[in-house]
A and B are shown apart, each in its own frame.
Chain A
Amino acid sequence: MADIEGSPGSSMHGVTGREQTFISSVASPMVPTDTTAKFALPVDSEHKSKVFKLFSLANPHMRTFHLSWISFFTCFVSTFAAAPLVPIIRDNLNLTKADVGNAGVASVSGSIFSRLTMGAVCDLLGPRYGCAFLIMLTAPTVFCMSFVEDAAGYIAVRFMIGFSLATFVSCQYWMSTMFNSKIIGLVNGTAAGWGNMGGGATQLIMPLVYELIRRCGATPFTAWRIAFFIPGWLHVIMGILVLTLGQDLPDGNLGALQKKGNVAKDKFTKVLWYAITNYRTWVFALLYGYSMGVELTTDNVIAEYFYDRFDLKLHTAGIIAASFGMANLVARPFGGYASDLAARLFGMRGRLWTLWILQTLGGVFCIWLGRANTLPIAVLSMILFSVGAQAACGATFGIIPFISRRSLGIISGLTGAGGNFGSGLTQLVFFSSSKFSTSTGLSLMGAMIVACTLPVTLVHFPQWGSMFFPPSKEISEEHYYTSEWNEDEVQKGLHQSSLKFAENSKSERGKRVASAATPPNTTPTH
């Protein structure tokens, strides 16, 4: 342990100051508790909760968490609701394979744009209204399924329902107003993972609802349309709950949120510039397209695949497909945990290796899934594939916070967009054409995952190294994070938060932290 007094890291034992931490509560000396506040949970000076108590519904913090993740879950349910019912829908609407594939592409493309707008909406109206607006305005698009009569209508409606996935942004934004930044990583990671589970739950829910409606006497071609009312009602119910039970801030006051300065203090063009000129942003956007992207693609194709290939009943295929998405419950947090563990031992190089290993294994299991000829092997390979891909998602967000301090928001957004883009691309290339079968498509997608994960070997952090190269001795964390500010800005002292972050990020050196004793009075040269 560092014994030199005042040396960086000595007073910050255990605290890393980065977003993706997996601690669930912050002890008092680090972040002082505001004892005057009367909340169910201990809060800091901004009244944000310092503790993440999962099974509590305490107002407003935990209540916000549950409202938020369930809204996101609901949007996943409605976006992927058509997937397990495709065997019925394709007969009703006389769809070809290309139509089915294009609808899948459409369902994930809409949110690329809506997520960008959502950030602005949350800034203007607050996350509570952002979430409620989106979820209640997309409810009519879900109900619209009952009008669809041909391929064009089907594709259009799935595109519009896909807009609702922007609740991801309102979800994360809302949590950041309610939870202290030291635990926000776990909170946001859990909310994202549990929301993603909706893609799995829907494969279970929709066939069951469809069966039930059919047994009540409806013909198949009507029953699936009625089944879509369920996700539609969920939208309306969650929207009303969010409006009545939710609040924007711990203190309940929206106006204060805007006065406090959620208005960006930094210039947008600068922030955007530093995001897009950092090559790591693009590498991780590509990588996320082949972890989150293939997860979304598989949510869209897997139920139909099992139904056709193994001649299963609709609800049996649904149960198997559901286990793919439901693995998110543990797989994504596991990925983040594995990344943190590797960081403790090997620093950032460990994180990069962990990501490469998890994502490549996911790709290998995807190849196996496509080649599997018997049901038990197919299910086994699918589950292993899901763990690999979803853990890789978690591991990706273990690295993202370190790419840049100044442009973290935009980089996270671009990465997320890369995920959806990868999903659209893989569906278009592998699952929309009759040139090869779905099983061949799965194997080819697996091969592409392995290939597109290789760029992670190119990611080099000068202060920490890369997968194959050690760190350079001259460049420190301060140097790296301060390089995002120009001379003028540094003169004005705008780079202070980056300096602080650099300080805390020394944990990414792995076991070398203790030996990294720089003299306490050195100011980094710029």
Chain B
Amino acid sequence: MAAHRLVVASLLLCCLAQICYGKVLFSSLKRTLDVTASPKQGQVLLSGVDKISGTWALNKTFPAGTDSSYKTIKLKLCYAHISQLDRAWRKTVDDLSKDKTCQHKMVAMPYDAANKTVHTFEWLIERDVPQATYFVRAYAFDANDVQVAYGQSTNANKSSNLFEINAISGRHASLDIASVCFSAFSVLSLGVFFYIEKRKGKSQKQ
């Protein structure tokens, strides 16, 4: 009897856990956060040099208690549609566990329901951010680190307030020089060996 109860209890627990850790669909999230970002439409920023700043706040039109489960706000840099073309590794998928739209974490901040002011953030664009067109999105996470709401700096179609980031090339003068040196060494040493052996061959024949 006790064993039977244990099985039922654990099954129930698993089901509840499944509800907690199950698939979260983006379409099920409400856009309760207002997010703004400093770059204007079409502005070009440099990675490693420029900063993205902005604000986020809970939209006051939502009833009180909407934000009761929010524990953390994470701001992410997301690809605009034009940068997702022909690049399946940046695809937008409704299932958030498979969604690849927002691959760059900017800032994470704790959420305090009592503090209703507008929060600001600032982030230096890291040097591993690729050349692309972006917008900013904020996800609200609950205590189990599951997304419960979002907000973004662009419209629902993801067509306004998009900005570009110019990436670093990754090239360095020192790398280029090293590359040329090793290449020259390779070709020269081949030539030298060949020449020496030809000369040895000739002198042996004599």
Q: A487: CB under 8 A from chain B?
A: no
**A97 and chain B: residue at smallest CB distance:** B86
Given A92-B170, A147-B176, does the pair A240, B189 have CB atoms closer than 8 Å?
A: yes
Distance in Å from the Cβ of B24 to the closest Cβ of chain A?
Answer: 16
**A244 and chain B: residue at smallest CB distance:** B193
* Cross-chain contact A129 with B194 (CB below 8 angstroms): yes
- Bound CA–CA A419/B182 (angstroms): 32
* Cross-chain contact B183 with A139 (CB below 8 angstroms): yes
Distance in Å from the Cβ of B108 to the closest Cβ of chain A?
Answer: 20
Q: B88: CB under 8 A from chain A?
A: yes
Distance in Å from the Cβ of A282 to the closest Cβ of chain B?
Answer: 35
Q: How large is the interface on B (under 10, 10 to 19, 20 to 34, 35 or more residues)?
A: 20 to 34
**A433 and chain B: residue at smallest CB distance:** B86
Residues of B within 8 A of A337 (CB): none
Given A92-B130, A308-B89, does the pair A236, B171 have CB atoms closer than 8 Å?
A: no
Q: B85: CB under 8 A from chain A?
A: yes
- Bound CA–CA A225/B177 (angstroms): 13
Interface SS of B by simple majority: helix
Q: A5: CB under 8 A from chain B?
A: no
Distance in Å from the Cβ of B83 to the closest Cβ of chain A?
Answer: 9
- Bound CA–CA A102/B6 (angstroms): 58
Residues of A within 8 A of B178 (CB): 146, 229
Distance in Å from the Cβ of A124 to the closest Cβ of chain B?
Answer: 13
Q: How large is the interface on A (under 10, 10 to 19, 20 to 34, 35 or more residues)?
A: 35 or more
Given A92-B130, A94-B132, A221-B128, does the pair A147, B171 have CB atoms closer than 8 Å?
A: yes
Residues of B within 8 A of A437 (CB): 88
Q: Point out the residue from A97, A219, A221, A239 that lies within 8 Å of B186, measured CB to CB.
A: A239
Most B CB contacts (10 A, CB to CB) among A91, A94, A220, A254 go to: A91
* Cross-chain contact A149 with B171 (CB below 8 angstroms): yes
Distance in Å from the Cβ of B105 to the closest Cβ of chain A?
Answer: 15
* Cross-chain contact B169 with A149 (CB below 8 angstroms): yes
* Cross-chain contact B88 with A438 (CB below 8 angstroms): yes
> Sorted from nearest, which 4 A-B pairs have the closest CB atoms?
A221-B170, A140-B183, A91-B130, A96-B86
Interface residues of B (CB under 8 A from A): 85-89, 127-128, 130-132, 167-172, 175-176, 178-180, 182-183, 185-187, 189-190, 193-194, 201
Can you list 18 A-B pairs, Cβ within 8 angstroms, ordered by A? A92-B169, A96-B85, A97-B87, A132-B190, A133-B190, A136-B187, A136-B189, A136-B190, A144-B179, A144-B183, A149-B169, A221-B168, A221-B170, A229-B178, A232-B182, A236-B186, A243-B190, A308-B88
